[in-house]
Chains A and B, each alone.
Chain A
Amino acid sequence: MSANRLKQERLEQQMKDKKPLYTPAEAVYEANRCLYCYDAPCIKACPTGIDIPRFIKKIATDNIPGSAKTIFSANMLGYSCARVCPVEVLCVGACVYNDLNHQPIEIGRLQRYATEKALGQEKESGKKLFTPQPKTDKKVALVGAGPASLACAAYLALSGVQCDLYEKNELPGGLNTTGVAPYKLFALDAMDEVNWILQHGINLKTRMALGENITLDALCDSYDAVFLGLGLGADRALLDHPAVWGATDLIAKIKNDPDFQLPHTDSAVVIGGGNTALDIARELAYLGVKDVLMVYRKGIQDMSGYRHEREAAMKQGVRFMEFGLPKSLTTENGLITGLTLTFSNGLPDFEISTPFVIEAVGQEKHGQNWGLKTEKDGTLSVDPRTFETSRSGVFAGGDCVNGGKEVVNAAAEGRDAAFAMLKRWNIPSQFLKEV
């Protein structure tokens, strides 16, 4: 999938931006509502610890570059995080206004305003937010060009470290490009952020897959350190049939493939209860599939997807079926015509007639493939402060370490790995406070 093809009409563009960019008046009004808490709960709730009251007050005085620098200094993916973060359970959920029974501050929308405006101004004026430090003799290879590696590379490159990014796909950006719900972030907007990060002097090499055309040993030989931001593996499958979609595959098609069209059907069954399941269910509902049914093996309260996402799906008309598991498919000439469900709560089995079945039951973990120590669940073991793996000089972060969390977690882990390397090499960085 090339970047040029993203410029063609794609299915994701039929969905509307759910929280569009604030106007200056809206932003200043909301910014002025912020109480400017000290040691604020919203900061503590942010995995990257952005000094939120500080960046918000800078919006109130129209100090947009200053506001954006406060954000990026803690989270180089502050732009995409502003749009994709589940703020309801993070910063906004921690806002002290909740305790006053007032509307909490719309931190995500303010962060989008500051970052989107600042990046626009930088493009227009050519005046950079960050000036790269003089080059050092250090070189780092980063594998997988998703949020974790991008964050890590940005801090390293701006601190004078040479960074080479190796990406197995044609497009960089990881899930921001291929997986985030379009009503939160479109692929082209994700690419804008990737390109902004890359222009700080980061080299990108695509179609380079670890274990295929590059090896960890070879990278360790030629670089001072390696960062693995490998993400997760392929969609898991309960139903072994080529016509059953894996959720992340289907979302990537909707977001990136201009030739892709949904099957002609009014119904779809989504199996799973996590956030990816909720995302694809909502996207299908947005795209006009009239009857989207989510089937989950436990009760609705046990779903791992966020409650606010579940409620949004319900508002869109998505139906939920609890305690159900797929049992078998009915097919005709290789095409699906029905799905038989079985239930753990005593309901008799029954068959739903649908040609469109999507599984969102997790992705494979592949930590064991690289000769590094792993956790029981197949994620890579790392030092929790430095994000260094069991192999000295090999760091890792993002989904391959945390098992599949938010973009903001990947951004924090990539950043912390970068900071650990800079400290180890005694490189004074504009992002590290003198201690």
Chain B
Amino acid sequence: MADLSINMCGIKSPNPFWLASAPPTNGGEQVMRAFDAGWGGVVWKTLGTPITNVSSRFGAIDVGTTKAVGFNNIELITDRPLETNFKEIEAVKKRYPNHALIVSLMVESEQEWKDIIARSEDAGADGLELNFGCPHGMCERGMGSSVGQEPKILQRITHWAKTYAKVPVLVKLTPNITDIIPPGLAAVEGGADGLSLINTIKSIIGVDLDNLHLKPTVGDASSHGGYCGPAVKPIAMHMVAALARDKRITIPISGIGGIANWRDAAEFIALGSQSVQVCTAVMHYGYRIVEDMIEGLSNYLDEQGMASVNQLVGKAIPGFREWGDLDLNYQRVARINADSCIGCQLCYVACLDGAHQCIHTQKGPCQAWHGEPDHGVNPRLQASPKVQHEPKNGKSQVPYVDEAECIGCNLCQIVCPVPECISMVEVPHNKGHESWNQRVAKG
């Protein structure tokens, strides 16, 4: 069985699965149950000058019957006394000496940073995470994402923290910027030991159409919140990978954003994360999801012949190219498996209206036949080669692909509800590799 333990810039953890600073890490009793469930580490809910939270706080978007594909919150940092938090941190650390306990911090002045760092270390924190990411409530007061958006300030506060901290310092970055590299570099230059990203994205999660109140509603109003959950995963992976690719970023990354299972985690690790942090999925399903994460990642590493999770870190990074370096001669086409096709024709209409008009029904090349107006002659009335499928169950609903015209865009495969019914097949060629940049260089 593969070794899942990690040592991220001096913070040791039995596995790479951490709980992000959020409601699941609000207090000691919760964190102890999380460790019992199998989580390797936690980032304690951000400590700072206590605030007052509002009711309500959370909102979500559902897609069809899938709940909370995207999630947002307007909750701020801890609303419990600092004294209580530190007492609980101490108790947890005593009982779980081998788990990683990182304390998230957010204060304003240098003196405040100095004090809260000292108190966190006294309580037994294994590491600190500077919250430069929270995009609501705190940023208006000059903290959170307002720091993450200003590389110079970010660098200065990181430097303060490093001046006073004895334990490793992670800097948590905000995605509410145009380019993640400048704040990442500022953290490195400020002396940070590691990066955590992404924090949440500024968002309005919804409008109640009955009364036109924004969600999550506080009385008759709401405010922008921080967006997270499965829907933000691609944005987070882009930012993690951008930093991991940059040679100037010499410190490890803790990946965050829409991670709900071991597959998500493995992708983040392959894109350069050493640890991963989870929040929304636990808020949805509870701490118990970590069991599958541990088993799944472990099995995957075994199958890949990797003895340690550290071998997976950044493994997918070489697969990233700038668009100008992609091979323009590479071609793939869609193939529909008539045996497993159920005849829904979602691929047909997607290709007809949303792509390249190269999937046809048994009735012939895309002609108006479903009651749509016909706006003239279709440019490709002769599709070739025409693939006549045996009518299935007496029906002839199976569409066919005009492979000569197929551009290999994947749309049909994306919309097909039957797993592995549509495959994208590489078309061999002997034209060699030619990228846009090569073409431009040739003149």
**Contacts A29-B65, A60-B64, A100-B418 given; does A41 touch B397 at CB 8 Å:** yes
- List A23-42 residues whose CB lies under 8 Å from chain B: 29, 32-33, 35-41
Partner of A32, one of B65, B393, B417: B65
Q: How far is the CA of A378 from the CA of B342 in the complex (A)?
A: 41
CB-based contact B65/A35 at 8 Å: no
CB-based contact A38/B393 at 8 Å: no
Q: Does A153 contact B (CB under 8 A)?
A: no
CB-based contact B343/A33 at 8 Å: no
CB-based contact B65/A37 at 8 Å: no
Q: Does A99 contact B (CB under 8 A)?
A: yes
**Contacts A37-B345, A37-B346, A41-B395 given; does A32 touch B370 at CB 8 Å:** no
**Contacts A39-B370, A41-B395 given; does A99 touch B342 at CB 8 Å:** yes
Residues of A within 8 A of B345 (CB): 37-40
Q: Does A433 contact B (CB under 8 A)?
A: yes
**Distance of B7 from chain A, by nearest CB (Å):** 46
**Distance of B414 from chain A, by nearest CB (Å):** 14
Q: Does A165 contact B (CB under 8 A)?
A: no
Q: Does A96 contact B (CB under 8 A)?
A: yes
Residues of A within 8 A of B418 (CB): 100
CB-based contact A35/B417 at 8 Å: yes
Q: Does B344 contact A (CB under 8 A)?
A: yes
Tell me the nearest residue of chain B to A433, going by C-beta: B371
CB-based contact B344/A35 at 8 Å: yes
Residues of B within 8 A of A33 (CB): 64-65
CB-based contact A36/B371 at 8 Å: no
Residues of B within 8 A of A37 (CB): 343-346
**Distance of B408 from chain A, by nearest CB (Å):** 21
Q: How far is the CA of A33 from the CA of B392 in the complex (A)?
A: 23
CB-based contact A41/B371 at 8 Å: no
- List A14-66 residues whose CB lies under 8 Å from chain B: 29, 32-33, 35-41, 60
Most-contacted residue by chain B among A33, A38, A97, A100 (CB, 10 A): A38
Q: Does B227 contact A (CB under 8 A)?
A: no
Residues of A within 8 A of B349 (CB): 38
Count of chain A residues with Cβ under 8 Å from any Cβ of B? 16
Interface membership of chain B positions 228-240, coded 1 if the CB is closer than 8 angstroms to chain A and 0 otherwise:
0000000000000
Tell me the nearest residue of chain B to A99, going by C-beta: B342
**Distance of B349 from chain A, by nearest CB (Å):** 4
Q: Does B361 contact A (CB under 8 A)?
A: yes
Q: Does B348 contact A (CB under 8 A)?
A: yes
CB-based contact A96/B343 at 8 Å: yes
CB-based contact B64/A38 at 8 Å: no
Tell me the nearest residue of chain B to A30, going by C-beta: B65
Interface membership of chain A positions 60-80, coded 1 if the CB is closer than 8 angstroms to chain B and 0 otherwise:
100000000000000000000
By secondary structure, the B interface counts as loop
Residues of B within 8 A of A41 (CB): 343, 395, 397
Tell me the nearest residue of chain A to B349, going by C-beta: A38
CB-based contact B395/A38 at 8 Å: no
Most-contacted residue by chain A among B344, B345, B370, B397 (CB, 10 A): B344
CB-based contact A38/B348 at 8 Å: yes
**Contacts A38-B349, A39-B370, A41-B397 given; does A96 touch B342 at CB 8 Å:** yes
Partner of B64, one of A32, A99, A433: A32
CB-based contact A39/B65 at 8 Å: no
By secondary structure, the A interface counts as helix
**Distance of A396 from chain B, by nearest CB (Å):** 28
- List B340-357 residues whose CB lies under 8 Å from chain A: 342-346, 348-349
Partner of B370, one of A38, A97, A433: A38
Residues of B within 8 A of A36 (CB): 346
Q: How far is the CA of A213 from the CA of B246 in the complex (A)?
A: 94
Residues of A within 8 A of B344 (CB): 35, 37-38, 40, 96
Interface membership of chain A positions 86-101, coded 1 if the CB is closer than 8 angstroms to chain B and 0 otherwise:
0000000000110110
Tell me the nearest residue of chain B to A33, going by C-beta: B65
Tell me the nearest residue of chain B to A60, going by C-beta: B64
Q: How far is the CA of A34 from the CA of B53 in the complex (A)?
A: 41
Interface membership of chain B positions 393-408, coded 1 if the CB is closer than 8 angstroms to chain A and 0 otherwise:
1010100000000000
Tell me the nearest residue of chain B to A97, going by C-beta: B342
**Distance of A36 from chain B, by nearest CB (Å):** 7
**Contacts A99-B393, A100-B418, A433-B371 given; does A38 touch B65 at CB 8 Å:** no
**Distance of B194 from chain A, by nearest CB (Å):** 42
Tell me the nearest residue of chain B to A434, going by C-beta: B373
Interface membership of chain B positions 359-384, coded 1 if the CB is closer than 8 angstroms to chain A and 0 otherwise:
00100000000110000000000000
Residues of A within 8 A of B395 (CB): 41
Residues of A within 8 A of B361 (CB): 39
- List A362-400 residues whose CB lies under 8 Å from chain B: none
**Distance of A57 from chain B, by nearest CB (Å):** 10
Q: How far is the CA of A97 from the CA of B418 in the complex (A)?
A: 10
CB-based contact B346/A38 at 8 Å: yes
**Distance of B304 from chain A, by nearest CB (Å):** 32
Q: How far is the CA of A18 from the CA of B73 in the complex (A)?
A: 44
Q: How far is the CA of A265 from the CA of B392 in the complex (A)?
A: 51
Residues of B within 8 A of A35 (CB): 344, 346, 417
Residues of B within 8 A of A433 (CB): 371
Residues of A within 8 A of B343 (CB): 37, 41, 96, 99
Q: How far is the CA of A36 from the CA of B348 in the complex (A)?
A: 12
Q: How far is the CA of A91 from the CA of B361 in the complex (A)?
A: 21
**Distance of B437 from chain A, by nearest CB (Å):** 40
Q: How far is the CA of A33 from the CA of B344 in the complex (A)?
A: 13
Q: How far is the CA of A178 from the CA of B371 in the complex (A)?
A: 38
Q: How far is the CA of A433 from the CA of B395 in the complex (A)?
A: 27
Q: How far is the CA of A153 from the CA of B397 in the complex (A)?
A: 35
Q: How far is the CA of A35 from the CA of B347 in the complex (A)?
A: 12
Residues of A within 8 A of B393 (CB): 99
Residues of A within 8 A of B370 (CB): 38-39
Residues of B within 8 A of A96 (CB): 342-344, 397
Tell me the nearest residue of chain A to B418, going by C-beta: A100
**Distance of A104 from chain B, by nearest CB (Å):** 11
Residues of A within 8 A of B346 (CB): 35-38
Q: How far is the CA of A251 from the CA of B428 in the complex (A)?
A: 70
Tell me the nearest residue of chain A to B347, going by C-beta: A38
Give 13 pairs: A residue, B residue, CB < 8 Å, sorted on A.
A29-B65, A35-B346, A36-B346, A37-B343, A37-B345, A37-B346, A38-B346, A39-B361, A40-B345, A41-B395, A41-B397, A99-B343, A100-B417
Q: Can you add 14 more A-B contacts, CB < 8 Å, to A38-B344, A97-B342?
A: A33-B64, A33-B65, A35-B344, A35-B417, A38-B346, A38-B349, A38-B370, A39-B370, A41-B343, A41-B397, A60-B64, A96-B397, A99-B393, A100-B342
Residues of A whose CB lies within 8 Å of any CB of B are 29, 32-33, 35-41, 60, 96-97, 99-100, 433
Residues of B whose CB lies within 8 Å of any CB of A are 64-65, 342-346, 348-349, 361, 370-371, 392-393, 395, 397, 417-418
Closest 3 CB pairs of A and B: A38-B349, A96-B342, A37-B344
